[in-house]
Amino acid sequence: MRVSSPTTLLLGVVLLCVATALAGVWMAISPPWLGGSFQARPDGAVVIAQLVPDGPLARAGAKVGDRLAGVGADLAAPLLQAPDTGAFEPAPTERAHRDMTDRQAAFSATLSARPLVLRLAGPDGAQRAVTLDDRVRPLNHLGAEFWANLAFGLIATLIVGWVWALRPRDLATQLFALTGLSMLAFTFGWAVRASVELVADGAMATGTHWLNMTGAVAYGGAMIAFFLVYPTRVTRLPVAWLVPLCVLAWAATPLLPGNPPLESTGQSATSLEMALIIVAIGVQAFASRKNPAAMAAARWLGLSVILGAGAFIGNVALPIALGREPFLDSRFSLGFFVIIYVGMAVGLRRYRLFELDQWAFRILFYISAGAALLALDGLLITALGAAPGAALGVSLLVVAFAYLPFRDLLWRLTLGRRTLKEHEMFAAVAQVALVHDVEARARAWRDLLAKVYEPLEVTPSVIARARAEILEEGVGLGLPAAAGSTALDLRFPFRGRGLFGMAQVQLADQLVGLLAQIEEGRDAYARGVVEERLRIARDLHDDVGARLLSGLHRQDLSQTREAMRGAIGDLRSIVSGLSGHDLPLEAVLADLRHETAERLEAAGITLDWPPVELFDPDRTAPYRVYKNLTSAVREVISNAIRHAGAAKITVDVRETEGRLSVTIADDGVGLPDAPGGRRSGLANLERRLGEIGGEVSIPPAEQGLTIRLSAPLEVSAAA
């Protein structure tokens, strides 16, 4: 079975209540109206006790105190005897009760004659015939007892319906709902019977009597079953069967020896059930003793039931047993049962009854707001209809320019869905993903979900899942862990007005995917920052640090200065690499050539470095490549200036097949045979070139030293 959204269920409950109320009113007004109440006197006479002014009896000239002497012109027609009104002793057996009901029905049939002629006897004993006409009973003459008892049942049904709509699959709420429905049955029966003026017609009398008695017995059974499962499930037995079981047992009592009437056995049954309810509450309290939350719930509900039912018994049953009048008007004593349900509604949040919380009231608020708007519409239509003088045009203008915008505003403030647009959603997800603090991010994620789905309930889920999934036939949506939050279960989307469907699942997957993507991007960025920091740290340490160290250990001041100058030059390269951009190879070579020319000029060495024509003028070099290449060339030139004693240096730059080779030849003394000195500088060069996948070679030369540096221009993995 596919469940419906809480709002749909609750609307169903409201419809049931409306239908019940209409049925009750219809049953109360359908018997032809007499317009008075009657009293059965101990002498067997049935006399008029009260008259409704302008009622059919009063109009026909009946007086209070008139005795009902007969119906119709036919003197043989059955007359209602006082004991048959049921005002005195109850029937001793069920059979006697049925006979009485039959006599009532027969009499009731005569009352429905149109026109109805009644023979009344005045105090003097003189009989006169009166004719009753226009016997439609107005609603305001149904009596307070009818309305009050009808209202009691409806209030209880609405409250249990509300709880059941939120947890329709829960045995406890189902049983609780059953108590409310039972209460509706017995209050309904009571209300309709209370509206009867003299005697009810056969079918109605039997029907309402049964409803009243069955409801009362079922109520007790449901309450016992309820306290056996909530808050702690005491037994695994199918306790719900207690309800039909109780009703069947009671219905079978006329089979007992002596044919006891159902009415009296029903009262015994409910008294017995009341005792069992108290026992069940005790059992429940014992079973819940180790769970403080369950204990509190059990105590609160038990107290409500004992107070409500106890007050009923104390006000009605006890005084009767003691032969005294009830303390409060017994006609309204069923109102004490409402205490149970109001108490439950009050304790709902405090004790988290049925795992419900504040949001359970929120859904009520939305429904009430919707109902209020409809009422407002009705009021307006009535007002417009009731003002015949007002021109139709003016009314339309008022509606179009004042009422509709106002109504729209109210709608948006109370009920409107505030859904996010797609671009807003993207921005919102990005915002969530970029929250730095993990906890704050999880919070932001929940806020976003609340905005997108408007769930009434968000709970962390214990189930780890990779994708979003529908839970409980659409009541819930299970989300995978995201944004630093654990997996979440959302329930009752759109403030309880809808269910989760495939569209929501897809959206959830998209949101989670988008979030993951942005988070990945953010992490990649963070990694990039870390890598860049590492690069700077390494370059600072390897290049600047090494130069400063060598400057520190030099004895000669000018050499120290040169080392420091070199360190500053390296610093500049490192900083220029901060932009992270590749540089045009042509520019790198031009700067290197210029720098070399300046240095060699200062040293009095001639430079022969023909400008190179690159195959592709737009060719760029990655930072690591140009950084290491430049450093290597600088180092070779430094060594040449320092050790070679050369007069001329020739530099030849070539680009072939994605490799750049720089050949630096001097006409100096060449490489010494002994290790150390210039040879150790070579190791340094090899390390630098090795980092970018390049190599150093020393081609044979007739004079001086030739060093060839070559490296691939594409960035290599070794970098």
Partner 1 sequence: MSSPETALVLEDQAETREHLLAALSEAFPGVVARGAGDLAEARSFLDGGGPPDLALVDLALPDGRGVDFLRDLAERSGGATRSVVVTIYADDAHLFDAIAAGAGGYLLKDMGREELVRYLRRLEAGETPLSPAVARRMLDYFRARPAPLAAVEPEAALTPRETEVLRLIGRGLRSGEAAKVMGVTELTVAGYVKAIYRKLNICSRAEAALEAQRRGLV
Q: In the range 496-515, which residues lie near partner 1 by CB under 8 A?
A: none
Q: Shortest distance, CB of residue 470 to partner 1, whole angstroms?
A: 58
Closest residue by Cα to residue 546 from 717, 688, 708: 688
Under 8 Å between Cβ of 129 and 119: yes
The bridge status of strand 648-656 relative to strand 606-608 is: parallel
Q: Shortest distance, CB of residue 601 to partner 1, whole angstroms?
A: 8
Of the candidate residues 587, 647, 683, 718, the single one contacting partner 1 (CB under 8 A): 587
Q: Is 543 near partner 1 (CB under 8 A)?
A: no
| Helical spans, DSSP H, in 577-651 | 585-602, 623-639
Under 8 Å between Cβ of 440 and 447: no
Q: Is 589 near partner 1 (CB under 8 A)?
A: yes
**Counting every residue, how long is the chain?**
719
- Our CB check for partner 1 shows the closer of 408 and 601 to be 601
What gap in Å lies between CA 710 and CA 625, rounded to an integer? 11
Token pair, residue 514, equals 């988008």
What gap in Å lies between CA 112 and CA 136, rounded to an integer? 12
Q: Shortest distance, CB of residue 458 to partner 1, whole angstroms?
A: 52
What gap in Å lies between CA 566 and CA 564, rounded to an integer? 5
Mark the segment that binds partner 1 (CB under 8 A) among 13-21, 195-203, 316-324, 589-597.
589-597
Q: What are phi and psi of 580, to 5 degrees?
A: 75, 0
- Our CB check for partner 1 shows the closer of 400 and 568 to be 568
Q: Shortest distance, CB of residue 564 to partner 1, whole angstroms?
A: 7
Q: In the range 549-568, which residues lie near partner 1 by CB under 8 A?
A: 558, 561-562, 564-565, 568
Site size toward partner 1, by CB under 8 A: 24
- Our CB check for partner 1 shows the closer of 275 and 575 to be 575
Q: Is 662 near partner 1 (CB under 8 A)?
A: no
- Our CB check for partner 1 shows the closer of 576 and 716 to be 576
Of the candidate residues 569, 645, 681, 690, the single one contacting partner 1 (CB under 8 A): 569
Q: In the range 592-621, which residues lie near partner 1 by CB under 8 A?
A: 592-594, 597-598, 601-602, 609, 611
- Our CB check for partner 1 shows the closer of 467 and 572 to be 572
Of the candidate residues 469, 591, 655, 691, the single one contacting partner 1 (CB under 8 A): 591
What gap in Å lies between CA 232 and CA 297, rounded to an integer? 10
Q: Sheet with 606-608: list strands edge to edge.
A: 606-608, 648-656, 659-666, 706-712, 695-697
Backbone φ/ψ region at 396: left (φ over 0), alpha (ψ -120 to 50), beta: alpha
Backbone φ/ψ region at 30: left (φ over 0), alpha (ψ -120 to 50), beta: alpha
Rg, Å, the chain Cα set: 49
What gap in Å lies between CA 608 and CA 519, rounded to an integer? 54
- Our CB check for partner 1 shows the closer of 396 and 587 to be 587
Q: Shortest distance, CB of residue 611 to partner 1, whole angstroms?
A: 5
Task: Give bridge partners of residue 711 from the DSSP assignment.
Answer: 660
Q: Shortest distance, CB of residue 642 to partner 1, whole angstroms?
A: 14
3-class DSSP string for 635-670: HHHHHHHHHHCCCEEEEEEEEECCEEEEEEEECCCC
Q: Shortest distance, CB of residue 565 to partner 1, whole angstroms?
A: 4
Q: Shortest distance, CB of residue 421 to partner 1, whole angstroms?
A: 40
Q: Shortest distance, CB of residue 574 to partner 1, whole angstroms?
A: 12
Chain residues that interact with partner 1, rule: CB under 8 A: 558, 561-562, 564-565, 568-569, 572, 575-576, 586-587, 589-594, 597-598, 601-602, 609, 611
